[in-house]
Structure 1
């Protein structure tokens, strides 16, 4: 009896979810007629066939193929499996090597007709894009909106493409333009909107970028011409990354934009719009001029990208320098005002505290030994607890294998309708997978980890070299040294309460560089709290 795996897919949330069940029912009938036993089913719901890499069900199907779990893949049509030639040829080459055939409702798929049908599927997608763009241009010519969300408006029920003004949001739009023309920065405007509890267009908070937008792409509230009664379409085009199969946007030149008059959607007057755009151009020229001035090369800091706010978890960014002293501040506070802590702290103080604390901690490897000992003790305890459980799980796994064999024999030899046993087989397979996961966890708990003395010595030497760089630890000519230290750290949490001189730094890092056991490579260690002027508090076992 030929073992078959069914694959079903539909691509749009506008299609019926029932489509999957209908495809599977059709294919089960076909397999029964052809004398094939359905071993398993795989499905992808609301996922395009344009990229196999982004379809979890298809990837599971290919993994099962590698395990030789079936002899043939059955799908309603080729476009359910492939709408891309590269995906077809790559997968077909692997399936041919494994000896697995492809069948559809119309019969076996050969190499030639398979290639032609994959080409036709790809051409269908390309033609669909052309037809969709043509339709959207027609919508625009009619004075309707061709897609995308615009703050201040909502769609008119039952009238595709038609918008109406939401007056409460329109007032917010007028406020933003008036405050911007009056001299407020987008960052200050976002802060005030968040304080007032006004809901943003999307997400949880207003940000400066939401208001300011991107001049090249023509995005952003201050650049949206719909507020003066003009619908602008085709500012960007969507391209599919051939590696990831994910869509990315690229800006189109202004001469490719499409504009339609929509005076009924006007929210602000022409004068206010012109003044806002004049300020935008002036600001952009000032920024471009500043960018054009030659700047001294900025050396990368050792902790760059690792600093986090202790109040909200946002990243800490440069907040300018005063009298040659560089400071950092929470980016969430700066951009949206959603973080309550706007205190600026000296960057040198944070770096000196973190790096000198690391130096002291690694100088006492007994802490690390204690950490690893506690970790291994816990693993051994889990191993002892799992001894009895392992025996029970192994016995049940054997029982499931026998039950599955009996079910397959009933289908193959006794002629039982596969549909009647599908639920039983699926339940047994799910239980088997769960048991295998538990057995793997028990096996993992048997392993222990050990400190790598050479790694400890290496990092201690590196950290001693850093002493000469403090309190300004630029990487400079010691990139290799800096990267070695950065491999130890996953984050540096800065605890700097507002209206206080108190400064604490919590280091969260990884032990994998100090361990030789591969079982620990993907696990992070604990955290250590470093207090300005006090060292470690309390002495904890790992970075």
Structure 2
């Protein structure tokens, strides 16, 4: 009978652990082999990979090579696997080829009782792994409540010594440039190609591509909104892009520029209808003398005379801006929006957070009263920590809900700020339908009067006393 042989398997879970951990495991396993007079056939090591997964290159290579030795030796059983399903599956694969799994530190007897002991160790390893995951998640949630990075890297930011986000000036300049170019209707691909040519790279070191720019243009964190694992905190990180710029970029479609053509955007497309037949008027273009290009809204049946795009859109925008310059009207609209933003879902979240806070405070008070009376139950320290965490989370949730509330005064300021709302956004937000006829243009807005009748603009006259109403189909099958 030949000498026994063994392969050694070692691993550690994450990059926060030291690589010396592998050397420590190998040292103990080699000492075991010397004591037991077992020859080492090979050594397999996985670095910074969790035992809860079997997607470990060296582990899988060891399983594939099973049969090259009599024993697979590990420092402790949890190094082999921390998953309650993987461990028995792969041990069975080893057993099929006559290979036994052995722990260098855990003396498992070679008897029927040893089977129970081994299963117990497997269960403890799986249990400890899940408890570690819970503790890690809890710790990361605590960090998130303090708006720490939790290892999440975002282009445009870097982590400071306190693990909080701070702006990276060079990358932030590229973020602002990307938003500006998108608002100017440049395509995402064109921006990405230019960035790649200028040496901009992804976190993985690859040249900038479409996905990187797309994610950049849709990442609300640039407005200062911190997000991690369902925790959201407005103003939780430095702002690179203001809210208006972010919203403008979301509604812009990139346009491929032709070398000798400048294509306009028909902002009232789908909203403007013919006063004669009720069909959508179409955006068309033509050229006059000196090859000057003109753009029109035109009825496909020719019921009404075509109207110049800039004249129609300009007249509607002017009337809307005149409406919003009235502070009383702007405040009335702002209050309507604020009332509708306080939805049933928001009220339910507010109630749930308030109840959670109240329960946590009652629990803490009861524990303190019990301690003052000399009653100290087992696990009281852990229970206090849980209640304090529940209290902090509930307070955070209430604050976050408060941050989501719309301040009518500030919203009215926004509506009255000419720079805050460009023409396209103004038309999109306020216009429901534009009925074009030869004699007049009747604009129906996205809210109703006090008598639940549509608020309208006839370009010269505005009806007041408004109440906000839901969005409706701007092109009904039959004209009213």
**TM-score, normalization by structure 1:** 0.42
Which has the greater radius of gyration? Answer: 2
**TM-score, normalization by structure 2:** 0.47
